[in-house]
């Protein structure tokens, strides 16, 4: 680490850990390798794992007492509360979160992002490009991911409305609105149990509704997308459990709160189409139930049922024509 250190904590890195034994050391080491000319804090919330995750975190924290602040939950409190409690104690001017199964790949990542935000006070956040890897860190092409993310700068509300994201959560350095209380996020803290929404989507919505966001062209992290049912990776659990109906309900909850500023119609359509095609590929009862629940939750069941027929028919016709890779416009 560069010895020219500012006394103020400039960045808070948060990491939530639960049963990440297979991945956690690499994730932590990717933070510790950062070369920066500022002071940062590294908060790890270990949520009472049932594997060896805590022991690995404890060892690394013991070897790096001036860098890692390890918080061990004596009782599992869940990912939402674990992350929230880390953010509430964060001291940095900027904040970034890294899941325990993802990792950074560039030792200058944080420095590059801080330099950008320090020299561009009109931007609220800065991300960068990332790679998708499997359980064993082998990179692979994910077409669905490619179309979900911004291809130009800056990122604004219109991009969010069309279902685009700036980048993956593990890339996103943002001004710490929790510390300076510049953005009201009480709805996040106090949301009802039925309001299930993904943290990266909601964070992006909050940030972009208060400022511009920028995506650096450098590839500086890896998102580990694991679909093996025996894996504890977040992506594996999400895909295995298929929570698209809960995501749809979360979008409706956000729409009730922010619909006067943000149009959620295309985002809801995107989630529904994803659920339909998930069922189309796998054809199991669980996935059909998810589609049915979204139709019920939509508030426009006839319209969504007709959309279901259209999506399935269009996908089937494209498959017959040998155009399996072509997307269905919706």
Q: Could you give the maximum distance between any two Cα atoms of the chain, in Å?
A: 64
Nearest alpha carbon to residue 252 among 291, 218, 300:
300
More confidently predicted of 195 and 257:
257
Distance of CA 26 to the CA centre of its chain: 19
- Buried b / exposed e over 50-64, threshold 16 CB at 10 Å, is eeebbebbbebbeee
Q: What is the mean pLDDT of residues 10-17?
A: 98
What tens digit of pLDDT does each residue of 277-314 get?
999 999 999 999 999 999 999 999 999 999 999 999 99
What pLDDT shows up at residue 187?
Answer: 87
CA gap 64, 32 in Å, rounded: 9
- Please write the tens of the pLDDT for every residue from 200-259: 889 999 999 999 999 999 999 999 987 665 555 554 555 556 889 999 999 999 999 999
Answer whether residue 274 shows pLDDT above 60: yes
Residue 48 or residue 233, greater confidence: 48
Lowest mean pLDDT among 20-24, 64-68, 276-280, 322-326: 322-326
What are the tokens at 329?
């416009």
Query: What is the rounded average pLDDT for all residues in the chain?
Result: 90
pLDDT band (50, 70, 90) for residue 6: very low
Instruction: Please report, for the chain, the start and end positions of each structural domain, with discontinuous segments joined by +.
Output: 9-234, 242-320
DSSP string, 100-117: TT-EE--TTHHHHHHHHH
Q: pTM (2 decimals)?
A: 0.86
pLDDT, position 2: 38
- Is the pLDDT at 5 greater than 70? The verdict is no
- Are the C-beta atoms of 178 and 95 separated by less than 8 Å? yes
Closest CA to 95 of 165, 155, 10: 10
Q: Which two tokens stand for residue 324?
A: 């399996």
Which pLDDT value is given to residue 229?
A: 54
Domain 9-234: CATH architecture, name and number where available: Alpha-Beta Complex (3.90)
Residue range 139-150, pLDDT digits in tens: 887 766 666 787
For residue 82, what pLDDT is reported?
95
Count Cβ atoms below 10 Å from residue 313 Cβ, excluding itself.
11
Share of the chain above pLDDT 70, in %: 92
The separation between the first and the last C-alpha atoms of the chain, rounded to the nearest angstrom, is 49
Q: How confident is the model at residue 161 (pLDDT cuts 50, 70, 90)?
A: very high
pLDDT digits 0-9 by tens, 91-112: 999 999 999 999 999 999 999 9
Using omega within 30 degrees of 0 as the cis cutoff, is the peptide bond preceding 154 cis? yes
């Amino acid at each position: 680490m560069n010895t020219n250190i500012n006394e103020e904590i400039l960045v808070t890195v948060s990491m939530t850990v639960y049963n990440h034994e297979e991945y956690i050391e690499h994730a932590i080491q990717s933070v510790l390798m950062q070369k920066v000319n500022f002071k940062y804090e590294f908060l790890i919330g270990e949520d009472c794992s049932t594997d060896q995750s805590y022991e690995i975190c404890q060892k690394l924290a013991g070897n790096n007492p001036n860098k890692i602040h390890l918080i061990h939950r004596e009782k599992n409190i869940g990912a939402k509360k674990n992350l929230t409690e880390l953010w509430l104690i964060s001291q940095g001017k900027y904040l970034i979160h890294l899941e325990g199964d993802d990792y950074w790949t560039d030792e200058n990542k944080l420095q590059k992002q801080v330099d950008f935000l320090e020299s561009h006070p009109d931007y609220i956040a800065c991300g960068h490009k990332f790679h998708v890897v499997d359980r064993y860190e082998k990179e692979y092409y994910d077409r669905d991911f490619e179309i979900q993310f911004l291809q130009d700068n800056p990122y604004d509300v219109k991009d969010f409305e069309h279902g685009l994201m700036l980048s993956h959560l593990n890339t996103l350095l943002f001004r710490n609105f929790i510390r300076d209380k510049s953005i009201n996020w009480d709805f996040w803290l106090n949301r009802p149990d039925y309001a299930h929404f993904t943290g990266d989507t909601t964070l992006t919505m909050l940030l972009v509704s208060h400022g511009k966001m920028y995506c650096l062209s450098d590839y500086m992290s890896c998102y580990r997308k694991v679909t093996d049912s025996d894996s504890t990776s977040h992506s594996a659990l999400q895909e295995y459990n298929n929570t698209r109906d809960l995501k749809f309900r979360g979008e409706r909850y956000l729409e009730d709160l922010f619909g006067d500023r943000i149009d959620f119609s295309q985002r809801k359509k995107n989630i529904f189409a994803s659920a339909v095609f998930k069922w189309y590929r796998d054809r199991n009862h669980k996935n059909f139930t998810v589609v049915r629940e979204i139709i019920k939750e939509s508030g426009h069941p006839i319209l969504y049922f007709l959309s279901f027929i259209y999506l399935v028919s269009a996908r089937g016709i494209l498959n017959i024509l040998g155009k399996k890779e072509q997307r269905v416009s919706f």
